[in-house]
Structure 1
């Protein structure tokens, strides 16, 4: 029995000789060229530069000194504050009401589900401007608000026009309209969570509230946050419609009032646009960090497991050359 000389692991030399295979050469990858992309980029950059130079030099109607004069005017800053308040208050109410409507849409009770569907049908099917006009006329439609037993003399009666300010009516009008859209966003997030999560929470003895607040909603937030951030930014711009209530202290209407006195509408439009862009940029940064927080662990994958012992190639040996191994030809009943 011949013995095969053993070689230490990792010291195997490449085979040599006329029949030996040569190792393949390394692939030299050549980057694919895209000349038309470069041409398009140059054209776009040239158009942008020409537009900026034209706006800065050749368009006196922009009146940039007038823009700088009113950009930080006290009235404009106060109007930006009202715009932020309208956005925040309306979105808080809309999110809370949207969660409730989404749960109602998923309820097995047909009456509850029908009420939620009717709400969405009404507020999504009519323009927000029309709704705000209705809220502005609420004092005409309902002159008083009476508290008491129906068909009897009211215990207390309030004058509607004295009870609700235009700011409050603008917040309610925006919030009720936005709640219809938030309900569908929240419902989509809840449906995106696997049904097994709900079943597992029920098997562990968690009630509906704890299942929803600790299991379902935290996982659904990854789906809910991006469109909700878009709705917040959209709400910021929708506040320009509250003049239909009429509420005239928000950013767009306030700058329009200043333009009516200065006869300079274009500079005031630029002032309003700069403020909208500044607030939107801050909201986009906040949305980015919220998305990153609720997306923790989603894109992370475990690293591939590495072997604990270093592996290398082994030389092939015949079965008869291994101690304790009998070739098939020498076994009882074995073949040739």
Structure 2
């Protein structure tokens, strides 16, 4: 998708109405995406979606954790189903991206992220590439979530409650998968953790939420606000905070601190690709990076450390960067968003 074509969907009111607005505005996009998703399941798992999805949903039960910790988001998913004309079960399964990956033993996860703590009058920065299978391309959207007096901008793949977001109160959240870490088939899925944390309004409150909830999936959460930035590695065993180095926290798809290993077969040191992207981030982070510098960091394509990923085949499951965000969390909260690989696509600047 071209950044200039990225839709911004106004989702106001209670949770059900927010979901309905999302579903109605993107109905055609969601319908086409669901068809690609079902085809991609067969490509990824050598099993038809009609067999895979019922088995996946029968083997897991995230609904109780969702109802306990983010009940409004359960209503929002029902609203998406209503607005998009989807069965509720399909809309629910569509939220479980990371959970589908670990249950199906997929290697789809990528994403490179970083957080920069505020210092010397410079704002905190939180940023990432969102790297997903190619079938998500064309479904990118920005949700303008208006809940009472609070407003957030949430980057998503149509039909999902969100992938990463920033609030007008000055809290930004980015994420990346840590498939090596322990999972919980009855925990809180990543999309719900991210949106639930985003409502907390500050890094301290969002961090408390991450520590408190049961996590379904291994995931890194980069948090920033006007006063601080923190990074957490979360898994079924809990949340651990990752220390910053020189005010920065780069991260890719292997744990740096957590030892909550999923099983004895996983490589905690991560893949060569994940290590290469981390090295690229570490190499490019300047002493005082600004938004322009972070854009260049996310666009890097050095051999062995390709941060901005372009699809290398026509396969639906081929990885690519479907979007990137940078949150500048100063007196003004500013979002820079790109709807494709930032090495090839333009950016849009939005005041939140």
Q: Larger relative CO (CA 8 A, sep 6+): 1 or 2?
A: 1
Larger Rg: 1
Q: Could you tell me the TM-score, scaled by structure 2's length?
A: 0.18
Greater helix share, structure number? 1
Length-normalised TM-score, structure 1 = 0.19
Higher strand content, 1 or 2: 2
